[in-house]
Amino acid sequence: MSKYRKILIVGTALAATLATPAMAEKLGLGRAALPEEIAAWNLDVSPDGTGLPEGSGSVEYGETVFSENCASCHGEFAEGVGNWPKLAGGEDTLARRDPVKTVGSYWPYLSTVWDYVHRSMPFGAAQTLSTDDVYAMTAYILYSNYLVDSDFVLSKDNFLDVEMPNADGFIIDDREETEAHFWTEPCMENCKDEVEITMHASVLDVTPGTTEDDAPAEADTVAEADQAAAEEAPRTAGVAEPDPELVAEGEKVFRKCQACHQVGEGAKNRVGPQLNSVLGRTAGSIDDFRYSNPMSAAGEDGLAWTDETLAQYLADPRKYIKGTRMSFAGLRSQDEIDAVIAYLATFAE
């Protein structure tokens, strides 16, 4: 049982005890809490699903909710921005010296995800999401970790069917029984003559900044910088001159891609490869970018990005190339796909 869960149970039990009329009168703490007041505090969701409300949410809708409420800190695909936490990835890293602890790699219970989002997110506007929004957002986080398919709909009824990869990775904390004989009596007062603060966490670049002075330079409005770079970058005409209106619409659609991909003068590889001259390029062929094995294999087998192949990929990346690391769920309409391809066609080197 986690420390958080223990504190929650103790706190709930204490509140329930003090809420009884007898204890309220004995301790002089005012009136007994009303049943509806106790219910308002009783929000926890247990690993067995106890406490889950009725409701449901799809991966598709969850992408929208996540983009609007979470992407500024956690990235469009839950990959994290700057020092804000990554929610996806980290598979097979827990044994390393620098494990990447995400929902997919580390969290043992889906109830913890739902409960935390429900209680504490989005940052600065906690408990403003509807129950269905929370289900949808949780579904999208699962999808970003390759734990469910793109058409998955999470609900109270199938909640326990989701298998978390690290469900068996935790053990009961039995140190009080197994290690107590090693312990010495702790010092509880006057343990040190002088206490000195030697370093602030933000200086070490391990804490997300909340002000312009505290924030690490790289974490400073990454999405805005990418968008400005794309808007200011000169365009070079492609082989066929696309419809200007379609290109303008594609530029808007490409904002969904800017968290990972850059285009234009000075474009660099980021989470995903730069996309200058992507049309006509062999898949997985940029030398200084580390592609997934399936993407590299597709290129070796002769896959090249044409209007047709790129359209199929953008519609459902993980269906078109199984095992691709691209966690984007895909564009929702053929119009969006046509527009973004027309936009990319203007960036030919």
Q: What is the per-residue pLDDT for 205?
A: 61
- pLDDT tens profile 221-276: 444 444 544 444 443 333 457 789 999 999 988 988 877 789 999 888 877 899 99
Query: Which of 139, 161, 183 represents a domain boundary (last residue)?
Result: 161
Alpha helices in the chain (DSSP H): 3-19, 21-27, 35-41, 59-69, 71-74, 110-120, 131-144, 175-178, 222-232, 244-253, 293-300, 307-315, 317-320, 334-344
Q: What is the per-residue pLDDT for 211?
A: 47
Whether 102 and 147 map to the same domain: the answer is yes
Whether 278 and 316 map to the same domain: the answer is yes
- pLDDT tens profile 308-347: 999 999 998 888 998 887 767 788 799 999 999 999 999 9
Whether 20 and 54 map to the same domain: the answer is no
The domain tally of the chain equals 3
- pLDDT tens profile 7-62: 444 455 555 555 556 666 677 778 888 999 888 888 889 999 999 999 999 999 99
For residue 204 the two structure tokens come to 């070490």
Please state, in angstroms and rounded to a whole number, the distance separating the CA atoms of residues 194 and 21.
Answer: 47
Whether 340 and 229 map to the same domain: the answer is yes
Q: What is the per-residue pLDDT for 158?
A: 97
Whether 228 and 326 map to the same domain: the answer is yes
Q: What is the per-residue pLDDT for 203?
A: 58
Q: What is the DSSP string of 240-276?
A: S---HHHHHHHHHHGGGTTTT---STT---SSS---T
For residue 236 the two structure tokens come to 């070079």
- pLDDT tens profile 116-151: 999 999 988 898 999 999 999 999 999 999 999 999
Query: Which of 161, 184, 213 represents a domain boundary (last residue)?
Result: 161
Among the residue ranges 89-98, 149-158, 184-193, 226-235, the one predicted with the least confidence is: 226-235
Query: Which of 161, 187, 212 represents a domain boundary (last residue)?
Result: 161
Residue 295 is assigned to a structural domain of this protein: yes
Q: Band of the pLDDT at 81, cuts 50, 70, 90?
A: confident
Q: What is the per-residue pLDDT for 210?
A: 47
For residue 309, what is the domain's CATH number?
1.10.760.10
Structural domain including 319 reads 222-344
Residue 189 is assigned to a structural domain of this protein: no
For residues 88-99, average pLDDT: 93
Top pLDDT among 110 and 322 is at 110
Whether 32 and 54 map to the same domain: the answer is no
Residue 135 is assigned to a structural domain of this protein: yes
Residue 316 is assigned to a structural domain of this protein: yes
Q: What is the per-residue pLDDT for 105?
A: 96
Q: What is the per-residue pLDDT for 236?
A: 38
